[in-house]
Structure 1
C-alpha cells in the first residue's frame, strides 16, 4: 500500500514502512546538484575572484614575459651554468641554473595571453620564447664544442627519455606557478623552476647539437617541449578559472578548451608508453637481481647485473664475489628468468673466488666496481661514437665498423647535397675529438676535388690545406688521384704530399701554376 498525498506518513503498511535511514538513502535530485554548483560558483566569484586585481596582474605578467636585454643576459648565465653542471655531472650546479632561468615568465605569459585572447601579447611572448630558447641552445653548443669534456654523463642521460611522470611534474609545477603569479606570490616560482627544470633540457639539446648526438638531441628536445607546452596551457586554464576576461566568443572559448584538452592527450599517449617501458625494465631489473642473488650463498656479494633490454635474446651479465663457485649458475638463472620474464635470456655471470674473511667480498666488489665503472664509461663513449658516425655518414648503425682492439671506427659516407670534400673531413675531425684515443675514418664519396695554385714563393697556407685534403681523400677512399699541371707546380705539390704522394699519378701539361686533381679509376697500391 503506497502512501497518499493527504497522509503520506500513516498510509504505509507495516511491511512497507521505511527504516530510519530512508532520508539518507534517497537519491540526490538534479535540482539539488545544480543548486550546489550554483552556490560553489557564487562562492568562487565573490569569495575568491572578487578580491583579485586582474588589470594589475596582467600588467605585471606582461612586463616580465617580453624580450629584453636582461632576459637574454639571464638566459646566457643560466645556460652556461646548466651545461657546465651537466658536463661535470653535478646536480648542485644544475639546480643553480634552474634557479636563474627566466624562461618561466614568457611561458606563463603565453598562457595568460591565450586565456585573454590577446594576439599581440601572444606573438611577443612567442618571440621571447623562441629567441631565448635558440640563444640558450647555441650558447650551450658553443661551450660544449670548445670543451674537452664531451661525454654523455648521467645528468645528461637523465634528460633524454621523457615519460608521463615528466608531464605530471610540469602540470603540477604550472599549477603552482600560475597560482603564485595570480595571487602575487612570485617567490614560489623559485621552487617551481627547480621542479620543472626548463633550462637543463635546453642545455642537453645544445650538447646533442655540438656533438652530433641526435638521440640525445631529440630526447632532450622532447622533454623541453613537454614542459613548455604543459606549463603554457595549464597557465591558460588557471587564468580563465580565475576570471581573466577574454575577447573570445563562447564558441571560440569552447574550441580553445577542447584544443587544450586534445594537446594534453596527444602529449600523454607517447609519454605513457615511454613510462610503461621504463616501469617494465625497472621491474625486470628487480627480478634479475633476485634471481642472480638466489643462485649463491649469503656470503656472496653480487654486483648490479647489467641487462641489455634491446637485444634478442635478452642478455644479462653480472659479477659475483663468492667463496664457493656455482658451475651451473648461468643455466639456472637463465631458466628462471625465462619463466618470470617470458623472454629468451642469455646469462653470463663472472664468478670471482674470495676468502671467507668478513669483508673480503666487499673489498673485492669495490675494486671490481671501480674497474667496471671505467669500462662502462668507455662503452658508452663507443656506443655514442658508433651512433654519431652512422648519422653523419647517412648509413645504418650496423654499417659502422668498430675495431676495439685498435680503437678505430670506420664508415662509408653517402653523398650529401651541398657538402664538399672539406665538409666530410671536418665531420670526421669533430667526431674524433669526442672520443679521445679513437681513430675515426669516414670514407667520403667521390666528390669533385679542389684545384691547387702554386705561387712564385711556393704554396701558401690555403693551398697547403688543399694538398693535405687531397692526401686525406686518397688515403680514405683507396682510389688514386691524377694530378695535372706544369712540372714545377707538380713538384711543389708532390713534395707537400710527402708519404701520401704514392697515392697520386702525375701528368705534366702546360706552363701554368695550377694543378688540377681528378679521381682515377686505378686502385691505390
Structure 2
C-alpha cells in the first residue's frame, strides 16, 4: 500500500496550499509590501542628517532667545486683547519646539550631552518668556482675565491627546524631511501661550491661573519630547543601551505618561461633571416657574462652599418661594449644599415682551453702573477738594463733574491740577473739573526772548487755572516778554492783558473794574 492509499486515497501533500492558492499569494504580497516599506522608510532614512538638523535647532543661541522673547511678547498682548489671530502669530514664531524635539531625539540615541544642552535651552527660553510676559502684564493697564487666558488655565486629558497626536505628526515630518507640517504642529500644541499665561499669573499673583497654565505647558512639553523619542526608536534611531536599560527607559516613559494622564483625566471628569451639573441646575430652576417663563442667565461658582448659583428669570408671575424651593431641590439633585439667588422680572407671555424685558434689564444694569461711577467720582472729588459731596456738581447727561476746592495747607496751583488729573484718569468718559481756590500764579521764566521749558510749564498751568476759574490774567514784565506770554495765553483761549514791569515776567489775577467790560 502506497502513501496515498494509507492516507485514505489522498495525495501526501494534498493538505498544503499550492502555489496557485489565492490565500498564499495574498499573504506573500503583503510580506513583500512590508519589506519594501521597511527598506524605503526605515533603512533609507538619513539618520545622521536628521540628527544634525535637530541638534542645530536645540541649542541656546542669540537668535533663539530673541525669537522666544518676541513670541512671548506677542502672545501676552494677544491674550490680553483676547485676539486669537495675534496668539496664533506668537505660536508660529515660537522656537521652543526645537529643544523639546531635541530632548526626545537625545533620549532615543542616548546622547546625554545633547540632552543637557536641549534642557538648558528649553529652561532658559521658558524662564525669559515668563519674566518678560510678567513685566508686560505688570506695566499694562489691562489685567483682566480674558477668554483666551481662561482657556489655558484648566488643562485636561484632551490636551494631553492633542499634544500626543501633534508630536507624532511633528516627529514624522522631521524624520521624513517634510518640515512644512511643523507649522500646523506649532499651532496645535501652542507652547508659547501657556507660558505667557504663567507670566500673567505671576504678575497678578493669581495662583490658580499660574498653576493651571504651568501644568498645560509641562504636559505639552513632556508629551512632545517622549513621543518624539518613541517615533525616533520606531524609525531605527538606537541608543548604546543594554536590553535591560532600554526596558527601564521604556517603563519610565510609560510611568510619565500615566502620571500626566491621571490628574488631567481627573480634570476632564470634573469639567464633565460641571457641564452635567449646569444642565441639572438649568432644568431645576426652569421647573420652578411657569412654562412660559424664560431663563435668561445662570452663573455658577462650583468652587464655593456651598455652591453659589445666581439666576435671572423672566416670568409672567413672580414666585415668592422660588429661591427656598429651588435651593432644597438643587441641593438634593447635586448632592451638595447650594446657595441660590434668583432675580425675577415680570414680563408678558409673548416673545416680544420677554425681549423687551431683557432690554429693560440691560438698560437698568447700565444705569446702575453709571450711577455707581458718578457716586464714586463725586466722593473722590469731594475728598480731594475738602468739601462735602453735596457741593460737587454732576451733569450726568453731559457726563461732567465740577467742584470748587477749598484752600489746602501748603498746596500750590500745581497740586490741584495733579489731583484733578488723578481723578480724571479713573473717571473714563467723564470730564472732571477741579476749580482751584484763589492763589498766586507762577513766575514765567524767559530765555532769549522766548519762554524756556519752565516758562512753558508755567504758562500751561496758568491757562488751566484760568479755564477752571473763568478769570482774566494780567502779565507784568518787560514789554516784549509780557506780550509774548500774553499771545501764548490768547492762543489757548485765555483772556489776558499786559502791564509794564521789571523782569522776571509775573502773572496775577486781573481784578475787573467798572471801566472794563
Specify the TM-score bucket, using the shorter chain as the normaliser. Answer: 0.5 to 0.7
> 1:38 and 1:130, CA in 2 relative to 1: closer, same or farther beyond 3 A?
farther
1:340 corresponds in structure 2 to: 333
CA-CA distance at 1:346 after TM superposition: 3.4
Counterpart pick for 2:217 among 204, 215, 224: 224
> 1:275 and 1:361, CA in 2 relative to 1: closer, same or farther beyond 3 A?
same
Give deviations 1:311-366, integer Å, cap 9, x for gaps.
34333220011222233332443344334322333322110112445333234335
The structure that has the greater radius of gyration is: 2
CA-CA distance at 1:42 after TM superposition: 4.8
CA-CA distance at 1:367 after TM superposition: 6.1
Contact 1:175 1:235 in 2 (8 A): yes
Aligned pairs for 1:301-316 (under 5 A) are 301-316=294-309
> 1:94 and 1:372, CA in 2 relative to 1: closer, same or farther beyond 3 A?
farther
1:110 corresponds in structure 2 to: 103
Q: Give 3-state SS (helix, strand or coil) of 1:326's partner.
A: coil
Contact 1:301 1:362 in 2 (8 A): no
* 2:314 equivalent to 1:327: no
> 1:327 and 1:189, CA in 2 relative to 1: closer, same or farther beyond 3 A?
same
- Give the TM-score taking structure 2 as reference length: 0.62
Contact 2:157 2:267 in 1 (8 A): yes
In 2, the alpha carbon distance for the partners of 1:39 and 1:279 equals 48
In 2, the alpha carbon distance for the partners of 1:8 and 1:362 equals 91
Give deviations 1:85-118, integer Å, cap 9, x for gaps.
1111222221221121111111111101110111
Q: Give 3-state SS (helix, strand or coil) of 2:98's partner.
A: helix
Q: Any gaps of 5 or more consecutive residues in structure 2? A: 11-27, 370-425, 428-517
In 2, the alpha carbon distance for the partners of 1:268 and 1:88 equals 32
- Give the TM-score taking structure 1 as reference length: 0.61
Give deviations 1:112-131, integer Å, cap 9, x for gaps.
11101111211111111011
Structure 1 stretches of 4+ with a deviation exceeding 6 A read 35-41, 369-376
In 2, the alpha carbon distance for the partners of 1:277 and 1:36 equals 50
1:78 corresponds in structure 2 to: 71
1:260 corresponds in structure 2 to: 253
- Of stretches 203-212 and 235-244 in structure 1, the one that deviates more from structure 2 is 203-212
In 2, the alpha carbon distance for the partners of 1:38 and 1:266 equals 38
Give deviations 1:165-219, integer Å, cap 9, x for gaps.
1111111111111111111111111111111111011001111122222222122
In 2, the alpha carbon distance for the partners of 1:229 and 1:90 equals 27
1:48 corresponds in structure 2 to: 41
1:125 corresponds in structure 2 to: 118
In 2, the alpha carbon distance for the partners of 1:320 and 1:190 equals 47
> 1:318 and 1:204, CA in 2 relative to 1: closer, same or farther beyond 3 A?
same
CA-CA distance at 1:370 after TM superposition: 8.7
Contact 1:308 1:316 in 2 (8 A): yes
1:95 corresponds in structure 2 to: 88
Q: Give 3-state SS (helix, strand or coil) of 1:304's partner.
A: strand
* 2:142 equivalent to 1:142: no
1:184 corresponds in structure 2 to: 177
Aligned pairs for 1:146-295 (under 5 A) are 146-295=139-288
CA-CA distance at 1:301 after TM superposition: 2.5
In 2, the alpha carbon distance for the partners of 1:349 and 1:311 equals 17
Counterpart pick for 1:61 among 28, 31, 54: 54
In 2, the alpha carbon distance for the partners of 1:177 and 1:76 equals 23
- Of stretches 48-57 and 264-273 in structure 1, the one that deviates more from structure 2 is 48-57
Q: Give 3-state SS (helix, strand or coil) of 2:45's partner.
A: coil
Contact 1:303 1:369 in 2 (8 A): no
